[in-house]
Amino acid sequence: MNGVFYKIDKFAVPPPARDEFLMHMVCTHTLLQTQQGFTRHSVLEQVAGPGEFNFVTIAEWENAEAFEQSQATANLSPQEMFERLGIRADIAGYKPVAA
């Protein structure tokens, strides 16, 4: 698969878990910056609207292959933290829609 690949994850983070979640995101961003094919990463916090998820992360990769390779080398497994803190996640990969 050629072209830009986006990993867009949405999180419902309870208020008491906010600080630990954001600390984890900083560590994740630091690790992502070292991966070949990684372009950029943003963490967005909801400030308005009735949406279910109050945080969104967007990681941009040169292509899906670069993302898949990073998964083999970067050990990103936050499931234990999510369960412990009551964080719900909607995690998916996206590609731009050709017009």
Contact predicate 38/70, CB 8 Å: yes
In a domain? residue 75: yes
| pLDDT at 34 exceeding the cut of 60 | yes
In a domain? residue 26: yes
What integer pLDDT is reported at residue 99 of this predicted model? 66
Instruction: Indicate the DSSP class of residue 37.
Output: T
User: Within a 13 Å sphere around the CA of 84, how many CA atoms are in the beta-carbon half?
Assistant: 8
In a domain? residue 99: no
CATH number for the domain spanning 15: value is: 3.30.70.100
The candidate with the shortest Cα–Cα distance to 56, out of 89, 81, 14, 94, is: 89
- List, for residues 41-93, the tens digit of each pLDDT value: 999 999 999 989 999 999 999 999 999 988 877 666 788 889 999 999 999 99
Q: How many domains does the chain have?
A: 1
| pLDDT bracket for residue 29 (50, 70, 90) | confident
Could you give the CA distance from residue 63 to residue 44 in angstroms, rounded to a whole number?
Answer: 22
In a domain? residue 22: yes
In a domain? residue 41: yes
The candidate with the shortest Cα–Cα distance to 79, out of 89, 70, 71, is: 89
**What's the maximum distance between 2 C-alpha atoms anywhere in the chain?**
42
Both structure tokens of 61: 């990769």
As a whole number, mean pLDDT of residues 11-20 equals 97
In a domain? residue 38: yes
What integer pLDDT is reported at residue 79 of this predicted model? 87
Question: Structure pTM?
Answer: 0.88
Residue 22 belongs to domain spanning: 5-55+63-94
